[in-house]
Amino acid sequence: MNTLAVRRLREKLAEGQAVYGLWVTLDSPSVTEMAVALGLDWVVIDAEHGHLDWKEVVEHLRATVRSETVALVRVADLDRGLIKRALDLGADGVVVPWVETEEQLRRAVSYSRYPPEGCRGIGAERATGWGECFVEHTGEANDHVLVIPIIESVRAIDDVPKMCEVEGVEVFFFGPADFSASAGFRGQWEGPGVAETILKLKDTIRRAGTHCGVVATGTANLAERFDQGFRMIALGLDGGLLLRSLHESLAAVGRDRKIKASFRVEGEPVKPSPLPRPPESMRPDRPEVNTTVGSGVVSEVTPGVRFECLVGTQNLARNLTTGLVTLAAMAEWPAHTHPFSESITLLDGRGAVEVEGRRYDLAILDNVVIPRGVAHRVLNLSDQGPAVFHLAIAGASIDHTIALSVPPSTSNEGPERVNRFATAHRFEAGPKTEFIDFFNETILPGIEMSGGYGRFHPGGRLPAHVHDFDESICIIEGDATCVVEGRSFAMRDRATALQPRGRVHYFVNESDAPMAMLWVYAGPAPIRIMVDERCATVEGNPWQVGGSQ
């Protein structure tokens, strides 16, 4: 038993902190190792549903040894033998499904404790060090074992106040899907009235001094559940999180679709339904800002190298700086490194980027992405005029460290990524559009931002959407109309918009000629959260309260 981890979890709960965890259903212990390595507070190894056998359960338990991650096992039923076996294998506690009465909960606690407080038998297994730690383990187990019932039936409603009086229970978990099924709404996560009922039961449990847990349905739901008073919050199920990531990546290339119960691939790729409004947790705290070229903050990086910052600290951008770098004829930005990733796209002239001795001569709109800490330099290859580059960094300043010596290249390949505009993969992100992903965490693992190119044919537009991070959009061709919650802005000639986290917006080409942009997100995944089109109007502005935003 990992008593230190249990104590730490209890301390966090007592301080009102959330404890975040993962529901484990896949057999590979690497899943739990990842959770431990990321510092999650707990894992629940699910032996109720799915295919995990006891050998696989114990491998997951082994992955939490000498960590600060509490390991719980969800048993298949309220069964003395199942609970005893899970604890003998070394679990820090059990999650018991479908608890509906006070009497059932008292039995669960009794099965989990050694006599005289309970009726758990003593076994010479992992929990007791295969018999060598009888005294140590039996002396501490009753005080540290966690017994967590799941309330997942409407029949439990009347007994919840009595369950709160059962000693030895510190957290109640809720199962909204089964709760909905028992209420007559099979197949729904929270059917009509179920969400409200669960929140009322949660309030009853919290008034009794006990904590509540639930599985979040997505990133935005994590903050919503915390605000509702839940403190033991699952990031999700391992399989579900994997599917979520797959859906996001497939959607980015126009290949997303729903899984059929038959596992047959049928029909066309599906598009996610827009949300009626953005999650309340994304309520923005800053206005949008549009900056024209010539009105940004200008600095001389080095002789012959000028940077005009269009998105950055001056307009309250977070974790993102973008702008235009102009190199005079034959000028050079000497070899240097940054403590963050950098994207460089040639807009005008003849330019090149050299990374650890590997040189890339660039055509217009070719892009080079350099991970943090990698030495590189930027050159203007022309003696006739300037070269202009679009620059984006995942930081608040372009402050850089001059690399006194650049190690010679020992390979034709390096950590950088070069995107050749002419041959890059294109996909449709909205009607009459074509997009290119230059960089994101799927393309370049470990990068802190994402971005690319978007071209809008006449009439082309994106749906109304929000992001969970700031965004920079630089108009590099044609005329664009930017709509933000009913406010409309005309943009052209490399004017750049800062869209803060949570602002509902979209771009549309209302002209009779093409329009193009370079977009950069202050987040590693290019995720757009689609919302109802009315949210992008003055009347439907979701953040409008009493005339203020």
Q: What residues are annotated to the active site? A: 49
Measured distance CA(498)–CA(521) in Å, rounded: 10
Q: Residue ranges of the alpha helices (H) in 158-218?
A: 160-163, 176-182, 194-207
Measured distance CA(538)–CA(509) in Å, rounded: 20
Find tokens 């080095």 and name the residue. Answer: 302
Query: Residue 444, Cα to own-chain centre: how many angstroms?
Result: 16
- What are the φ and ψ backbone dihedral angles of 491, each rounded to 5 degrees? -135, 145
| Environment class of 355 (CB within 10 Å of its CB; exposed 0-12, middle 13-18, buried 19+) | buried
Find tokens 């005339």 and name the residue. Answer: 547
DSSP 229-283: T--EEEEEEHHHHHHHHHHHHHHHTT---PPPTT----SSPP-PPPBSS--GGG-
Q: Which two tokens stand for residue 549?
A: 């935003």
What are 484's strand-pairing partners? 487, 505
Find tokens 């894992």 and name the residue. Answer: 43
Strand pairing of 401-402 and 332-337? antiparallel
